[in-house]
Amino acid sequence: MCPAGRRPRRASRVRSPFRTELLRLGSGFGLTCALLGLPLVGLVAAAEGASEVATKASLPSRLPVWPEAGELTGLRKLADIPLRDPSICRGPDGAWYLTGTSEPFWSFNNENGIRVWRTRDFATWEPLGTVWRYGGSPWHQPYFEKRKPIWAPEIHHLKGTFWLTYSLPGWDGTGRTSGCGLLRSTSGKPEGPYEDVQPGAPMGDEIDASLFEDDDGTVYFLWHSGKIARMKPDLSGLVEEPYRWLRTTTSDPDPKHHSGLCEGIFGKGSFDHVGYEGMYLFKTGGLYHLSCAEGFDGRYSCMVVSSPNLLGPYRERYEAIPHGGHNVFFQDELGGWWSTIFNGPISERPAIVPVLIKEGRITLLPASQPYARSTRTDAH
């Protein structure tokens, strides 16, 4: 409300570059528009509107939508890099960092090892090269001798430095000898060098490791299909306590909603798991969202459960992202949420899809969503 007798001051207006250019061109341009039947005012308004939308668009939303996205509305390809299990995190410098499983995916890939890329606009990805190869820690030896691949690295920035999780599939050809570990950048830089936090033994007894930092600064090591363990304050290892295996409160007995591997992992008749691999966890809007990969109606999908408490109980699971198995969630610079993806219309290449988090659920954006705007979270 304005004080009595005082006229409100008009807000200063920032002139758009397009309007400035039209004024510079002068009346000649206006006459040309009139002869062509083009409304000058309309042209200015439209151009300024487009400029405003472009200004408000987050960086990843400016990428072209994949033309054959199908049900994955807003799907965008990041780069023509052969990569599975893509992981993205934002660094303290404002750039985003990408890693994932390198070729050859199913055989010895230690020449590539763990590679990292950096971007500031999601359009151009700068390769930082191979930042680590396995084989230097004692527990690696049977895997190295059997020439096993290194799988599913994830990149995180916590406690002032970068961290990479990594996985090695069973050296005897079974899941019983699989393992995963954690690397710390000793320089604080994404390119390392990296050291194995626990070189004497795997940190987890299966594949697909991840990290989660809670609101109080406590960090948890996650892996496989819902396993979680608290880490020491300096992240040098796990606190000496049994890990927890997070499950859902509601079973899903439909066999079409489970991978054929589930029975061997969880036991016959066990249907209360989130998924069978690819665990990830994040918190927003007061809820913990736990995702795992699952074979759901023939798709390698991202299944999600949510809870107000870290250790549960977790609600009934649902298919959040078809074809989005073994993904991570991240935010753009405007707060919009995205998921990585490497299946479906874009196979074994890093891609992303915008998601909406509303009323405690993660969903794909509707087809009518104006992707030029931020996909800012609406979780509560």
SS3 call for 8: coil
Instruction: Pull the structure tokens for residue 345.
Output: 């219309």
Same structural domain for residues 25 and 128? no
Where in the sequence is the domain holding 230, given as residue range(s)? 60-364
Quickly tell me which residue has 């200063």 as its tokens: 12
Residue 337 vs residues 219, 310, 332: alpha-carbon distances, Å: 22, 20, 7
Check whether 46 has a pLDDT greater than 80.
no
Closest of 80, 72, 73 to residue 123, by C-alpha = 80
Same structural domain for residues 165 and 290? yes
Do 248 and 316 meet the contact criterion of CB atoms below 8 Å apart?
A: yes
**Residue 369 confidence (pLDDT):** 66
- List the single range of 11-20, 55-64, 249-258 with lowest mean pLDDT: 11-20
In a domain, 167, yes or no: yes
Same structural domain for residues 337 and 231? yes
Q: What percent of the chain has pLDDT over 70?
A: 82
**Residue 32 confidence (pLDDT):** 42
Check whether 231 has a pLDDT greater than 50.
yes
CA dist., res. 302 & res. 291, Å (int): 6
Question: Which CATH number do you get for residue 261?
Answer: 2.115.10.20
Same structural domain for residues 44 and 111? no
- Residues 307-365 have pLDDT tens digits of 999 999 999 999 999 999 999 999 999 999 999 999 999 999 999 999 999 999 999 98
pLDDT category at 371 given cuts 50, 70, 90 is low
Instruction: Classify each residue of 106-121 as buried b or exposed e, where b means 16 or more C-beta atoms within 10 Å of its C-beta.
Output: eeebbebbbbbbbbee
Same structural domain for residues 31 and 108? no
Same structural domain for residues 39 and 187? no
User: In the listed set 56, 76, 104, which residue is the last one of a domain according to the structure?
Assistant: 56
CA atoms within 13 A on the CB side of 218: 11
In a domain, 375, yes or no: no
Q: What percent of the chain has pLDDT over 90?
A: 79
Instruction: Classify each residue of 34-61 as buried b or exposed e, where b means 16 or more C-beta atoms within 10 Å of its C-beta.
Output: eeeeeeeeeeeeebeeeeeeeeebbbbb
**Residue 26 confidence (pLDDT):** 47
- Residues 110-127 have pLDDT tens digits of 999 999 999 999 999 999
pLDDT category at 57 given cuts 50, 70, 90 is confident
CA dist., res. 358 & res. 368, Å (int): 16
Same structural domain for residues 48 and 123? no
Same structural domain for residues 37 and 77? no
Same structural domain for residues 206 and 243? yes
Check whether 36 has a pLDDT greater than 60.
no
CA dist., res. 65 & res. 141, Å (int): 44
In a domain, 31, yes or no: yes
Average pLDDT over residues 291-297: 97
Burial of 364 (0-12, 13-18, 19+ CB in 10 A): buried
Same structural domain for residues 42 and 152? no
Check whether 225 has a pLDDT greater than 80.
yes
Same structural domain for residues 249 and 309? yes
In a domain, 8, yes or no: no
Same structural domain for residues 48 and 113? no
Number of domains in the chain: 2
